Amino acid sequence: MRSISVAICLMLAVFTGYAMAQPLRKVPDTAVRAKMTSYYDGSVKLGSKVYLLAPGALIFNTENRILLPVYVPETTEVAYLLNSDGRVWRVWILAPEEVQ
């Protein structure tokens, strides 16, 4: 019985280490990086261009949680994707280590 307990603890330790070594999230390689400097009335300013948000647009924080637009920092580095209409479809707020 003791050997089973030790084996289970060992497996948990290995899987926990494996899970901790995984990246927290994957920002698509096709995502464009820019500084988001404002957010108002259904639009965002990314770099020097102003874009409308697509219906159902999602904004992810550095922990990959969805943020409501009112909680987005006023100025932040982001990666974003546009939909087929040229509207912002997904936004990832970048952590300092993700900014290159």
The answer to pTM > 0.85 is: no
Confidence of residue 7 (pLDDT cuts 50, 70, 90): low
Is residue 2, in this structure, part of any structural domain at all? no
The domain containing residue 59 runs over which residues?
32-93
pLDDT of residue 95: 93
Read off the tokens for 23: 């990246």
Based on the structure, what is the number of domains in the chain? 1
Q: Using a pLDDT cut of 70, give the percent of the chain over it.
A: 80
Is residue 18, in this structure, part of any structural domain at all? no
Burial bucket for residue 6 (CB in 10 Å: 0-12, 13-18, 19+): exposed
